[in-house]
Chain A
Amino acid sequence: MTFFDQVHAVGPALALYAGAGAVLSADLLQGRRASIWGLAVVAGVVSLGWTLAQLIVGVEAGALGGAVRVDAFSIYLAAIIGGVVLAVTLAAREWASTLEQAAEFYALLLVSAGSMVLLAQAEDLITLFVALETTSIAQFILVGITRNDRSSEAGLKYLLTGAVAAAILLYGFAFLFGMAGTTSLEGIAVWVASAPEAQRLPLMLAFVFVAVGIGFKMALVPSHAWAPDVYEGSPALVATFLSVASKAAGFAVAMRLFYTALGGGDTFISQDWGKMFAVLAALSMIVGNTGALLQTNAKRLLGYSSIAQAGNIAVGLAAVAAGSTAGPSGVLFFLGAYAVTNVGAFVVVSLVADRLGSEQIADYAGLVKRSPAAAIVLSLCLVSLTGIPPTAGFVAKVYVFNAAVQSGERWLLALVAFAVLNTAISAFYYLRWVRTMILDEPRDATPFRASGGVQFVLAVSAVGVLLFGLDPSPLIQAAQDAAAALL
């Protein structure tokens, strides 16, 4: 493997890291005159373009001595992460210009995203851990970047929870390493395939620790408690990044660990971890949905919604172990649909917070008269989060639930029944918000406009939500290819 092949393999991550370096250098050399926003956009575009090039030109799977693995799975996730970081950067121009440390904001965003791309590629526990921590540490600072009281508090809470989750994850890793004698995921898979039945208990102990630790990234119960606080306290655009990119990276790691290392549907422990994810999914849905019911703050509501959605996605993980091949592609499709939906929702919340200075749902009254575009996009996204046709969220839910039903296992059927019940609960708070925007009279009907970047992001998100809802086949195909690479 030549040097260029190695660089090509980690290109999308390198482009983001290089962008971070360029942003900081430009800020240092030129100060306020530097167009750091342009540099950050270029980094995002190059990263996305490079991901596309990997897909078209092809790429050798193993790179950096087996530390990373570049396949359809990692390319799919790199595309989601690249798209989200580009969307956040485009939407952030106006807001970031008010920041004292705009260059640091973009640099940390790019570093965090670059590490997420590496995380989706990681093929070794060490790479995985270092990439995970680089992502997290950059996010801890991003959450607290606005220098106000609530932002600092959210940063501290996020950091303390993250540090504990990392320690728990590492404890699980230590046992995986101790049993398998290697940190390579493939090596662990080889060991699991021939492991004696007596290893079942220690292995279960290890993967419970791993699931709790990695659940922090996915906002899955029991490591979910940070989500509402952190979403409420952090700037809306940072929350966008956390809710979409971070969740995608978390599920990517979970799938790599459980599917590649713990052998998917055909090892003696796959039923065990499938049931564990079923329990976690059910708990996440009920905790998220009941928590969201009484919220009056938009970002806090979306925080609980994020927990509930993690539960929905985890239904796909539970189906994975039942030997259903639709499970992993369902998770991947859901992540894609969730990305376009949640970016749209959060960018509108950020726009409203900017223009109206409020995050209270009551202040969204009559939004459709003040900014029809924002209100329509947000309504569309909320409808998609509920899972009503013809939106991407509907197809995603049907896909994931169908994967679980296909297996025919009784406990999975019960889980899907519970999930459908939860969808009904969630419709209450999502649609109440839509009603406030469309039917209620505004207290002050002055119209407001979004900046060009925000308008572009909202348009792309709305088109994505509708497109994947009406004709999901291209995304389903991509998700299936990605899932096939994982098997």
Chain B
Amino acid sequence: MSDPIAQLIFLIIKAILVPVLIVMMVAFIIFFERKFAGFFQGRVGPTYLGPWGSFQSFGDIFKLLSKEDLIPAKSDKPVFRLAPYIIFLPAFLVMAVLPFGPVGGEANLFGYRFDYVIANFDAGLVLFLALGAIAVYGVVLAGWSSNGNFSLLGGLRAGAQMISYELAMGFSVVGVMLMANSMSLVDIVEGQAGNFWDWYFIPQVVGGLIFFVATLAELNRTPFDLAEAEQELVAGYLTEYSGMRWGIFMFAEYVNLVVISGIVSTLYFGGWRAPLEVLDFIPGPIWLFIKICVFVFIYMWVRWTIFRYRYNQLMSMGWKVLLPLSILNLVVTAIVVSVAG
């Protein structure tokens, strides 16, 4: 078997395995979200289905599948049907550029080279930002096509929120790009080789924090969950959705949660690399899994702790605080990188 054919087989295996594993992970993350929410609130969370209630997500899926699919009579039906997938697809596509182990080098599997990334894409970071921006269309179109007031308000809020945060997010990751001298996520992880003090979160602490805040907005989670603010807009852009269509939105949200946790750990926390070089014997995917779990937990923690911002406060924070800070961070990084290296 020649190398290109082996690579093709590997690619197919990876392209099936990675999404399937992440989907399995998501099922349990939804369960853990509910369980942790219970613990934060002095409750026990789900307990009935399966050991320790751990099959709750599967119960939810069956419930959603068996529910009637309601589509409002006056909605824009093709767009209404399309919107969930516009959110769903980008969340999955980002997985392609996320490295979960070493890439390149010698043959490591049955005499062939196995790259621990689906697509070693030169502009992986740009792809991530672009796909994040596409997902917003899903939210806006869902809100608009539902033909409901609360949905429309939710969709518009999401649109405005994304515009104000994507910029700060984009500028904050440019700092990482400059330090790694590459836009490929594989190279960014290579740039963080060594121990945990070589990771980018130390030189890029400001950029990292801005990126983290912006991902909260990107994920529509609590301080910035304006688009589906339950207490104000009932469920925002999701108000008119029911059954599995609603389920797809929720599912995409959690896939996004995993993927963005992966991106945060890749950009600032060494990706699949072990925190200390002596721990390198543990394979990369496991380290990445641990890091993703840690960040998912942090996102949950934030969600169940913090209040929600008001719409105009969020906008002014995005434009007046995060954007100038991220530009400053970029300028300082550029000067330091060009002087030092």
B is bound to A: no
Binding site for B on A (CB under 8 A): none
Binding site for A on B (CB under 8 A): none
